[in-house]
Amino acid sequence: MSLERTRRNSPESPPTTTGDKETFDTAISQTSGHKSGTGKHSNEARTALMQQILTRLIQGTKRGGEDDGHELHHVTCDGCGDSPIHGDRYKCLQCDNFSLCSGCFERRAEPKKHKSGHLFVHFRLPNELFGRAVSNNDVTLEKLIEFYAKEVNKSATCDGCQILDFVGLRFKCDLCPDYDLCLKCATTGVTTNDHKLTHPLILTSRRVIVQISINDIELGEKLGSGAFGAVHKARWISKNRPVACKIIVVPD
């Protein structure tokens, strides 16, 4: 039974308040105030109240996530409909304007014509890929092929064609350990050993370290130290994001 239908049939309207605690307390009070019984309306009222509580708690959790240090990608998840996407975002390179949140990616959601074994770009930060600022329109398979046409993947062997130091785009399997494919093998659906067509392939690059200016870091509490320096809590100022910062001491 849907929540909306339950509300229309219940003898009492579910409590509507602005705070999650008020919703919970009011709902418990009203539920306790009902006379015990097994009537249809009594059960429907309790069901509506509990659905209201759960809805408020879920909404509160999502609202709280906006301030949890995760970046906001201003796109909609095509799996669950969440907008904006919090945290990691996965953009499909084989579907038109298609993105998944981390939850839908991990459960291998396949809405519309999308397949879990497609090629993906993994955005950890909005509009930034492998340390470079990019726009959403720049991240297409055609433009990436052009941009990385001369990139040599040193010490990497394609597990499909066995070419060492192959040139161009490099994709890593999200499930198979240390499994790489060149663009040709990735797009032609090569399978070897335990690698299956349903395994997601994620674009990777040797340019994976984000360069952050020292002036863009605000150091905080010291977390620990070792032979080469100390680790501090810190804040990435321009992103307003908590990070860990290791300060390496270079001996004279």
Domain boundaries, the chain: 3-65, 72-204, 214-248
- Structure confidence at residue 223 as a pLDDT band (50, 70, 90): confident
Rounded CA separation 235/242 (Å): 5
- Structure confidence at residue 9 as a pLDDT band (50, 70, 90): very low
Q: What is the pLDDT of residues 189-201, one digit of tens each?
A: 888 878 999 999 9
Structure tokens at 223: 């977390």
Q: Are the beta carbons of 115 and 108 closer than 8 angstroms?
A: no
Q: Is 246 annotated as a binding-site member?
A: yes
Structure tokens at 113: 């014509």
Position with higher pLDDT, 112 vs 141: 141
Tell whether pTM > 0.85.
no
3-class DSSP state of 88: coil
